[in-house]
Amino acid sequence: MPGHRPLRSRGLGALIGLVAVLTGAGAIGNGRQLPPPAPVPATPTAAESSVQPNVAAEAPSGAPSTKSQSSLHPMVEPGDAPAIKGDPRYGSELRFARPDWRPGSVALAYQWLRDGAAIPGATDRRHRLSADDIGHEVSVRITGTRAGFETAVQETDPVGPVVGQELSPQTPSVYGWARVGGVLAAGVRPWGPGTVRLAWQWYRDGVKIDGATATTYELVAADLGHTIKARVRGTAKLFEPASRFSRPTAAVVAGTLNPTPVPVYSGVAQVGQTLTALPKRWGPGDVTLSFQWYRSGDHGDVRIKGATRAKYTLVDADAGHRVKVRVTGRKPGYTSVQRYSAWTSTVASGGTSAGTAPTHR
């Protein structure tokens, strides 16, 4: 066809020329000499470098992480990860300085994280800690972008766990006499801010007393010789719990039995008759009572051997003497107390009628 250029011949000639260049051949079919191929440079030029694949190196253990994928674009270079400043406490503001990334102007985007999960709306360099942050660690993810460069991501070290706000605690005081059987009372000025729930606990020599969780505490025998103090613990929503201790008491002393009435007896003061001690009621609570009968003598009171019960039957040795009873009250943690009855009249012998004796005081 007129004007038609044979593409096949042209393609074959080009192919032969390309082969000659690649193989280093100095001549082709028409006898023309071609120059040898230029040597390949060992170091890529700046233009070549701009299109080389870029693979991000793995950060060493413990260093802030950066993330990228292989690309024909260079990657932006993150600077040192910023440190988060501020008190990790509910209501406080956390912040960090603007990072310095290279090269040139790199657009940075921020995302605050709670235990690694994004916090909705927290995309500034400042973050006000909320109730949802309490008990969790907080960190920041930084993303750097620039046209023609591969995006990089960096995360800061976390801070926390976040705690609640601080209460305004007050130190409690303890009132009362530190003796067994006595009652101690604890009191404290109001805590704040707002409504604070207070809980009490009593301690013996620094050891928690089981069940002693009221504002009052009755001292028991186990407290004898030990010091007592009270702890108050305050709690409120969105606030960190706080505790305060009172000053310890002096060492607890023995309690005093009360009442300790003088005993009386009933019966006839005559040999063969039985006298009965009537101690009345002692206190506080259960008090163990013991008895000892005495006979009058020329040189003072004589303890009657074996006469240690509430009842005593008069014997011949009692004739011509008077008799009385001693009652001793004992209770753990309390000082023992002794009380004596009055003397009987002179004990008559068994053959003599002394009549009926009513209760003697």
Domain ranges of the chain: 51-163, 166-255, 257-340
Give the tens place of pLDDT for each residue, 55-76: 333 344 344 444 444 457 899 9
Per residue in 143-156, is it b (16+ CB within 10 Å) or e — as a string? bbebeebbbbbbbb
Residue 335: the pLDDT is: 97
Task: Show Cβ contacts of residue 347 under 8 Å, excluding neighbours closer than 6 positions.
Answer: 269, 270, 271, 314, 318, 319, 320, 321, 322, 323
**Structure-block tokens of residue 336:** 């023992």
Residue 298: the pLDDT is: 87
CA–CA dist 136, 115 (Å, integer): 6
Distance of CA 197 to the CA centre of its chain: 17
CA–CA dist 1, 356 (Å, integer): 170
Top CATH class, 166-255: mainly beta
CA–CA dist 115, 159 (Å, integer): 10
Of 19-33, 168-182, 184-198, 296-310, give the lowest mean pLDDT range.
19-33
Task: Show Cβ contacts of residue 224 under 8 Å, excluding neighbours closer than 6 positions.
Answer: 180, 252, 253, 254, 333
Of 54-58, 145-149, 178-182, 327-331, give the lowest mean pLDDT range.
54-58
Q: Is pLDDT at 129 greater than 60 in this prediction?
A: yes
For domain 51-163, which CATH number applies: 1.20.140, 2.60.40, 3.40.1190, 3.30.230?
A: 2.60.40
> pLDDT class for 293, splitting at 50, 70, 90?
very high
For domain 257-340, which CATH number applies: 3.50.50.60, 3.30.465.10, 3.50.50.100, 2.60.40.2700?
A: 2.60.40.2700
Residue 350: the pLDDT is: 80
Give the tens place of pLDDT for each residue, 101-118: 999 999 999 999 999 999
Task: Show Cβ contacts of residue 313 under 8 Å, excluding neighbours closer than 6 positions.
Answer: 272, 273, 274, 275
Of 115-119, 233-237, 264-268, 296-300, give the lowest mean pLDDT range.
296-300
CA–CA dist 330, 308 (Å, integer): 15
More confident residue, 212 or 237: 212
Name which of 34, 16, 36 is nearest 24 in CA terms.
36
Residue 351: the pLDDT is: 66
- Is the N-terminal amide bond of 259 cis, ω within 30° of 0? yes
Q: Are 157 and 139 in contact (CB under 8 A)?
A: yes
**Do the two domains 51-163 and 257-340 of this chain adopt the same fold?**
yes
